[in-house]
Amino acid sequence: MSRDFTRSRRIEEQIQRILSDMFRTRINDPRLRLLVISAVKVSRDISVAWVYYSILDKDQSEQETENALSAATGFLRAGLAKELTIRRVPELRFKFEDTDKGMALERLIEKAVGKDNRQDD
């Protein structure tokens, strides 16, 4: 049983890392530029991955982001297929997380950037 948990946890972390990298470097849709993946949970049989995300852009609607994610799902699954070490890429289901977490992440990012800027001076 613990072996299943370890494998699913490893796959969740891989999916989160790969998708985060894809959003940062390969996605050209401006509606997805300020999207942060906060967690990934996979089903027991790894056929479905729930991707929890937050939006850092206060002006962007949740519906607009959902539409962009729906349009990009095939591209994202293809990217996962190239990098994951499993036979079958799970179906991606995106779930919006409360903006409080997104705001907390934004504050942490701003704090880190501020520290970097002060160190550069």
Which fold does the domain 2-120 belong to in CATH? GMP Synthetase; Chain A, domain 3 (3.30.300)
Indicate the pTM of the whole model.
0.76
For residue range 48-99, list pLDDT tens digits in order: 999 999 888 878 888 999 999 999 999 999 999 999 988 899 999 999 986 5
Tokens of 7: 């494998």
Residues in contact with 26: Cβ distance below 8 Å, sequence separation at least 6, in sequence order: 79
pLDDT at res. 103: 66
> Does 101 score more than 70 pLDDT?
no
Find out whether 48 and 42 touch, Cβ atoms under 8 Å: yes
Give residue 121's pLDDT band: very low, low, confident or very high (50, 70, 90).
low
Task: Tell me the longest C-alpha to C-alpha distance in the chain.
Answer: 52
Provide DSSP, 25-58: HT---GGGTTEEEEEEEE-TTSSEEEEEEEE--T
For residue range 28-53, list pLDDT tens digits in order: 998 898 888 989 999 989 999 999 99
Going from N- to C-terminal start, the domains of the chain cover 2-120
